[in-house]
Structure 1
Amino acid sequence: MESSLYQQYLQAKQNNPHLLTRDIANMLKVKEVELTHSRVGYDAQRLQVDALTLLTKLETVGFVKSVTANQYAIHQLIGRYQNQKFTAHGGLILNPRELDLRLFLAKWDSIFSVREYDETQGEQHSIHFYDLQGNAAHEVYPMNETDQLNWQSLIKEYASDDNPELVLQPVLAPREDTDNNLLINNAAQIEDEWRKMTDIHQFFRLLERYNATRQQLFRVVADDLAYQVNNSALTQILNAAHQNQNEVMIFVSNGACVQIFTGLIEQSVLLQETTKDNWIKVDNRRFTLQLNESAIAESWITRKPTRDGFVTSLELFSTEGIQIAQLFGQRTEGQPEQNQWREQLAALAVKKDVAV
């Protein structure tokens, strides 16, 4: 099976040299991890180590490129795996304006070292972490600034000739969301609880209490708390932040990992057209975002109360309800939100005739 799949992978790669591994996996109707598993013995190695141990050891390698992606967005940061904190429920790597991650390690599973050849950069090495369902959770790439000796030592320490069979957990069935009519009937109570929040993270409790999606709650509260804008909002807000040079925060999550950029947008947004979709690209020196603008089905402005006043965000969703990305104005705890960010969001065109 693996040998056959590996040959299929090579053929697909040859026919589509610029296609992402995720897209090749979809084409071959397998999981990303199954492709990487099939490459062991050729250009990949299985690493016999748990994610927590390996992440801790990555502190020794210095600067690397860190990649977290979902189906519609790829978030790349250059930074160091320093300032790590872990609890029974998860962990974080807290380096604002550098490498900033939120980790849900209970969802992480297998790990591989991979070698690939790039026409412009030559042979590239990387570490790939996969979740329990076989999707990419996180990737790490060495670069010129990386301590190559420590990187190679790390791979050598955990690389194994063994390649155990994958045991993938089934994809979780979509949960049964609360009926919209029930939420509408409880709209006043939901809005009251929303307005009484003192921390932005309390919103997750609200979602759990009503067994609702984010968009469901957005639709039943007043417009000063949540309203929909045109799907051109992302390009507009990024270009406004570039023009005014105010710092923003860009979150991309895949359920197993959240990666956060904080800083200035160094140049205007680039638009990359493919045969099917339009991709937005932010290309900073230490940060890159690629996001499929064609996949944005809903764009929402939300305002959540905190002890420091309201915090406003732009949230982007696909047709399946996947949160593609979330953006905030940069804010330090204890300080109010920047007025410039609020003005930039207020300038976005409101989407008319939004159904509840």
Structure 2
Amino acid sequence: MQNTARLDATSLQQLRHAFVALKTDKKLRNRDAALALGISEGEALAAFAGEHVVRLTPRFIELFEEVPQLGPVMALTRNEAAVHEKDGQYGNMSHNGDIGLVLGGTIDLRVFYQHWASGFAVREATAHGEQKSLQFFDAQGHAVHKIFLREHSDHAAFDAFVERWGAAEQVPGLMLGELAAPPVIKDDSEFDVPAFHAAWDAMSDTHQFFGILRKFGLARTQALRLAQRRYAQPVATGVLQNLLVRASESAVSIMVFVGNRGMIQIHSGPIKTIRVMGAWLNVLDPDFNLHLRTDLIASAWVVRKPTADGIVTSLELFDSRGENIAMLFGTRKPGTPELDGWRELIAEIEALRDEASA
């Protein structure tokens, strides 16, 4: 069943014309042009289905696990405040139900297929030639993941992929799903805080934290606020730039997680080039780009979780709704302790907090 809404010819033509005009005259990217029109990016692309956009059959697990055939590409995952771009090749792909893993080395993903609603193969003319991509969206038309071909990608494999996975019906339009009601946040007084503290103390793996949140019905920022201060400390929202600069200077290998409800994308390794452009804080390395709007960071926390390998520390950034923007860790594998260099960087930003409050 295709998630499509038919547009009458006049509405379709008006939408296409306005979208192209914004991209051409205002030099806007697809997402920004769609926002200017009051629609989602998925709706904007779907308006061109049957032309330079091909709607894909929504058998997302099967088709996504064929992406390694495309060779080296660029993977992009974003949310409202952060964009994570990583060059490499997909590989070692698997799934358990509707949860997927991509562990091919440079491309490291956690996939939540239950939130994928539509997908498109896109061919767009640019100043540098034709740009080919695969783009996937949730039920509200928000992008969950994009794959862009590079010069050395297998373009013939892309064409064959589109031929194989193109939907039988290429009708312009996209039917949006209803937005789920936000979860009800309980008052702090309703929680058994000592039991919550005991559960945190008993963690032996960082992934157990998600189960603790579900068990106690806590929102993530609420959990951090109610945690013992030895495990969760608020820090200034501007510490990210300092952390990235110091990581670059000291060559400490870090992990950067950026995600949305349909995808989490991870960079592991050192970073080098840090640039500030207005509100955007950027990492601009040959195989990894991060673009993060610092003006949308409403809170920042240093978080420590007990594991079988010792304490694991993260810097976690949230927007005004309590949605996670990004998480940063020191690079590590299960069975190995946290990097001393990463702990030193965290100690530095905590010292900045202590100096400011002195």
User: Normalising by structure 2, what TM-score?
Assistant: 0.92
Give the 5 Å matches for 1:204-219. Answer: 204-219=210-225
Contact 1:229 1:351 in 2 (8 A): no
Give the 5 Å matches for 1:316-335. Answer: 316-335=317-336
Aligned counterpart for 2:260 among listed residues 231, 241, 254: 254
Aligned match of 2:132:
125
Aligned match of 1:7:
17
Contact 2:65 2:94 in 1 (8 A): no
Aligned match of 2:113:
105
Aligned match of 2:3:
none
Question: Following the alignment from structure 1 to structure 2, what is the Cα–Cα distance between the partners of residues 27 and 181?
Answer: 42
SS for the counterpart of 2:156 is: helix
Aligned match of 1:154:
161
Question: Following the alignment from structure 2 to structure 1, what is the Cα–Cα distance between the partners of residues 98 and 44?
Answer: 30
Q: 2:82 matched to 1:73?
A: yes
SS for the counterpart of 2:174 is: coil
Aligned match of 2:240:
234
Q: 2:205 matched to 1:199?
A: yes
Structure 1 residue 47 displacement after superposition: 2.0
Question: Following the alignment from structure 1 to structure 2, what is the Cα–Cα distance between the partners of residues 35 and 197?
Answer: 45
Contact 2:93 2:104 in 1 (8 A): no
Q: 2:142 matched to 1:135?
A: yes
Contact 2:23 2:29 in 1 (8 A): no
Aligned counterpart for 2:29 among listed residues 8, 20, 25: 20
SS for the counterpart of 1:145 is: coil
Structure 1 residue 89 displacement after superposition: 3.6
Aligned match of 1:63:
72
Aligned match of 2:102:
93
Flag structure 1 segments of 5+ consecutive residues without an equivalent.
none
Structure 1 residue 124 displacement after superposition: 0.9
Structure 1 residue 157 displacement after superposition: 2.3
Aligned match of 2:176:
168
Contact 1:82 1:94 in 2 (8 A): yes
Structure 1 residue 160 displacement after superposition: 4.6
Question: Following the alignment from structure 2 to structure 1, what is the Cα–Cα distance between the partners of residues 59 and 42?
Answer: 16
RMSD, aligned CA: 1.8
Question: Following the alignment from structure 1 to structure 2, what is the Cα–Cα distance between the partners of residues 71 and 59?
Answer: 28
Q: Which moved more, 1:154-163 or 1:3-12?
A: 154-163
Structure 1: 4+ residue segments shifted above 4 A: 351-354
Aligned match of 1:145:
152
Question: Following the alignment from structure 2 to structure 1, what is the Cα–Cα distance between the partners of residues 97 and 255?
Answer: 27
Contact 1:228 1:351 in 2 (8 A): no
Aligned match of 2:5:
none
Cα deviation 1:147-177 (Å, max 9, x = unaligned): 1221221122233572345332111111101
Aligned match of 1:270:
275
Structure 1 residue 181 displacement after superposition: 2.8
Look up the equivalent residue of 2:252 and give its one-letter code: N
Look up the equivalent residue of 2:65 and give its one-letter code: T
SS for the counterpart of 2:151 is: strand
Contact 1:227 1:350 in 2 (8 A): no
Look up the equivalent residue of 2:14 and give its one-letter code: S
Aligned match of 2:293:
292
Question: Following the alignment from structure 1 to structure 2, what is the Cα–Cα distance between the partners of residues 95 and 257?
Answer: 16
Look up the equivalent residue of 2:277 and give its one-letter code: Q
Cα deviation 1:124-163 (Å, max 9, x = unaligned): 1111111122111111111122112212211222335723
Question: Following the alignment from structure 1 to structure 2, what is the Cα–Cα distance between the partners of residues 246 and 353?
Answer: 25
Contact 2:58 2:117 in 1 (8 A): no
Cα deviation 1:27-70 (Å, max 9, x = unaligned): 21112111001122443121235211221221212111111111
Identical amino acids, percent of aligned pairs: 32
Q: 2:313 matched to 1:308?
A: no
How many residue pairs match? The answer is 344
Contact 2:256 2:328 in 1 (8 A): yes
Contact 1:219 1:226 in 2 (8 A): yes
Structure 1 residue 219 displacement after superposition: 1.0
Question: Following the alignment from structure 1 to structure 2, what is the Cα–Cα distance between the partners of residues 353 and 211?
Answer: 34
SS for the counterpart of 1:146 is: coil
Structure 1 residue 353 displacement after superposition: 11
SS for the counterpart of 1:197 is: coil
Contact 2:42 2:137 in 1 (8 A): yes
Question: Following the alignment from structure 1 to structure 2, what is the Cα–Cα distance between the partners of residues 27 and 235?
Answer: 30
Contact 1:64 1:140 in 2 (8 A): yes
